[in-house]
Chain A
Amino acid sequence: MSESTVEQPGVGPAPTGPTAEASAAEGLELAVRSQWSYARSRFFRHRLALMGLFGLAVIFLSGAFAHWVAPFPYDGVGFTTILKPPSWTHLFGTDELGRDELSRIIYGIRTSTEVGVFVALASTVIGVILGAIAGYYGSWIDNLLMRLTDLFLTLPFLAILLTAAKLLGTANQWQIVALFTFFFWTGIARIVRGVFLSLREKEYVEAAKASGASDSRIMFRHILPNTLGPIVVNATLAIGTAILTESALSFLGFGLKPPTASLGLLIANGENFPFSWWLTITPGLVIILVVLCVNLVGDGLRDALDPTQRRMRA
């Protein structure tokens, strides 16, 4: 293993120029490997995580290019193709208005992944900023933030989201994104705050302070890179949670409204036609697949980014 660790020029920033020459001159055959290059090679050896990444790439791309990938328009009704079981023209069958289920699922993937990804991004940004401020400055800001997140933890999550969705209205996925972000940022803020709290006592922070770095520079240039592991993992897992929550909301009729295609809505619609099993089973399996892939990638990242784990996975 030590052999392969040393000779992997493709992975990580390979030593070039003076560093390489210097180490060669000293007779040391040590490649400089950053924590990130370790993480990357650990991740790419994690077979399940790679499978998840591949699955996610296929799903996300088909969602993003839905208008090219989908064989039919998502609202293309047809009077001759009502409630037809899966066939070669309609791989996943058709619904009660003769719309192609596969195309609707592909457009549904677009909506669901949009919600998942943007909720994860927005809540991560907000959570990181607030968590960093609270963890770095401490005192009353920290107290206030922690009491606030405590409060959020005690709320009946789904019920509050349902109430908010009903009262504020959810005409499109961006309103859902805003709503979810409002309730999702606390988790990441707590994590970031915890790491900042322990890292602000480190010597390198003291060194940065002594050399006159500003607070924001210390926070975002010196401490933040060391907290990226848990942040990335949690952002990934938040995508899955957001997708599941959105589908539950839409299923109960408080999320997105038809004719928008959302995976939860498709299942809710399929429930009305118990003998057309393909209308319920296929969108459900797609949700499971998407969330499964997200969770596999998240798990792979968690294993890869854990700095205490230098050991390579065979």
Chain B
Amino acid sequence: MITYIIRRVLYSIPVLFVSTYLSFIFVSSAGDPLANLRQNPKVSQNTLNLEIHKNHLDQNIFLRYFTWIWDVIQHGFGRSLLNSLELWPQITRTFGHTAEVVILAEVIAIIIGCAVGMYSAIRQYSFFDYSFTTLSFLGFAMPTFFLALILQTLFVDQYNGSFHILAGKRIFYTFGINNPGASDSWFTWDRLQHIGLPVMTLATISFALYSRYMRASMLDVINSDYVRTARAKGVPEWKVIIRHVVPNALIPVVTVTALNLGGILGGAIVTETVFTLDGFGSWFVEALTNGDMYAVMSYLVITAGIIILFNLIADILYGVLDPRIRYE
């Protein structure tokens, strides 16, 4: 097991390098980072050459990658090419917001999704099962941004009479991460009102996936031999489910959660844009629209790193949770 973990960790390091190297080549060769400067007639060729030299744009692309990596480690992704603002403070700020929304949404989706999946499997082909199967099919077909827009429209200001106000109090806000002047801390009432709708959007989309997987994996286990043995030796049904079925059915869900992470981050991009949330995803879209290539790169590298990390954790957890799996 230890050897497996060490090998798995060692294997993810080159993957991280190659993945970031490819996106670095791709981004830096497809887009001209100094395009804005070149178009400006007031900027002389001398200034341009100086800018090129200062940003190491005259180096060979392979060397430039290492210069860039070194910069990433030393200076936290350096400064934006557009406005010379430091990237690291922006990254930590926006990333914190996204992490809060994504983690909340995931926790809700996993808890409700697993609960619904379990019950659907225990009462297969019941009314409950059919209703949630229908719902999850709708969830799979639902574009994230459309769900976000619908929720936003339901709670938008001008539509009086819809349920954005309860007993004279506002429940949800439809844009932003805080009211002006409110503190930027994690669990204030104001913050929860603002992130309520984005969390609902992301949770609904992931819920559809988790409940289906949980249901399928529960059914697999329920029909297996050792469960029949447990029943045959007289274990009460509730105990069969809780002790024998659920722990084993949860194992594949671990992998699905990790593999779904990329999708959730994509969903976060769209959701944050709709709700104009000051998150990592909307920051990325803004940087991409403005052509701020170093900011785009930092987003790609950080998210790729997170996905690789979570795949690694899921793989290791899988081995720990399922002792039948032996790695050579």
Binding site for B on A (CB under 8 A): 147, 150-151, 153-160, 162-164, 166-168, 240, 244, 247-248, 251-254, 264, 267, 271, 274-275, 277, 280-281, 284, 287-292, 295-296
Kindly provide the distance from the CB of A153 to the nearest chain B CB, expressed in whole angstroms: 7
Contacts of A295 in B (CB 8 A): 137, 140-141
**A288 near B138: Cβ-Cβ < 8 Å:** yes
Partner of A156 from B31, B262, B270 at Cβ < 8 Å: B262
| Chain B interfacial residues counted at CB < 8 A | 48
The answer to whether A159 and B303 touch (CB under 8 A), given A154-B15, A154-B308, A167-B27, is: yes
**A252 near B141: Cβ-Cβ < 8 Å:** no
**A166 near B288: Cβ-Cβ < 8 Å:** yes
| 19 A-B residue pairs with CB within 8 Å | A155-B262, A156-B265, A156-B307, A157-B262, A159-B265, A159-B281, A162-B269, A164-B26, A240-B140, A244-B143, A248-B144, A248-B145, A251-B143, A254-B288, A264-B143, A267-B145, A280-B149, A280-B153, A284-B150
**A284 near B146: Cβ-Cβ < 8 Å:** yes
**B269 near A159: Cβ-Cβ < 8 Å:** yes
**A284 near B149: Cβ-Cβ < 8 Å:** yes
User: Counting chain B CB atoms within 10 Å of each CB, which of A288, A291, A292, A295 scores highest?
Assistant: A288
**B143 near A158: Cβ-Cβ < 8 Å:** no
Q: What separation, in Å, do the CA atoms of A189 and B299 have in the docked complex? A: 28
Partner of A159 from B30, B143, B284 at Cβ < 8 Å: B284
Partner of A292 from B27, B30, B137, B265 at Cβ < 8 Å: B137
Kindly provide the distance from the CB of A220 to the nearest chain B CB, expressed in whole angstroms: 31
Q: Can you name 9 extra interface pairs (CB under 8 A) apart from A274-B158, A289-B141? A: A151-B22, A156-B266, A158-B266, A159-B265, A159-B266, A159-B284, A163-B288, A252-B273, A254-B288
User: Nearest CB to that of A165 among chain B residues?
Assistant: B288
In the assembled complex, B247 has its CB within 8 A of some CB on chain A: no
Contacts of A244 in B (CB 8 A): 141, 143
Main secondary structure of the interface of B (DSSP, over half): helix
Main secondary structure of the interface of A (DSSP, over half): helix
**A252 near B143: Cβ-Cβ < 8 Å:** no
Q: What separation, in Å, do the CA atoms of A240 and B151 have in the docked complex? A: 23
Contacts of A251 in B (CB 8 A): 143, 145, 270
**A247 near B143: Cβ-Cβ < 8 Å:** yes
Kindly provide the distance from the CB of A50 to the nearest chain B CB, expressed in whole angstroms: 15
Contacts of A291 in B (CB 8 A): 140-141
**A157 near B296: Cβ-Cβ < 8 Å:** no
Partner of B15 from A151, A157, A267 at Cβ < 8 Å: A151
User: Counting chain B CB atoms within 10 Å of each CB, which of A163, A264, A292 scores highest?
Assistant: A163
Q: What separation, in Å, do the CA atoms of A166 and B296 have in the docked complex? A: 11
Kindly provide the distance from the CB of A47 to the nearest chain B CB, expressed in whole angstroms: 13
Kindly provide the distance from the CB of B24 to the nearest chain A CB, expressed in whole angstroms: 12
Q: What separation, in Å, do the CA atoms of A166 and B295 have in the docked complex? A: 14
Kindly provide the distance from the CB of A43 to the nearest chain B CB, expressed in whole angstroms: 18
User: Nearest CB to that of B285 among chain A residues?
Assistant: A252
User: Nearest CB to that of A277 among chain B residues?
Assistant: B153
Partner of A274 from B144, B153, B274 at Cβ < 8 Å: B153
User: Counting chain B CB atoms within 10 Å of each CB, which of A151, A155, A158 scores highest?
Assistant: A158
Contacts of A254 in B (CB 8 A): 288
Partner of B304 from A147, A154, A267, A289 at Cβ < 8 Å: A154
Kindly provide the distance from the CB of A98 to the nearest chain B CB, expressed in whole angstroms: 23
Q: What separation, in Å, do the CA atoms of A221 and B138 have in the docked complex? A: 39
**A252 near B270: Cβ-Cβ < 8 Å:** yes
Contacts of B284 in A (CB 8 A): 159, 162
**A248 near B288: Cβ-Cβ < 8 Å:** no
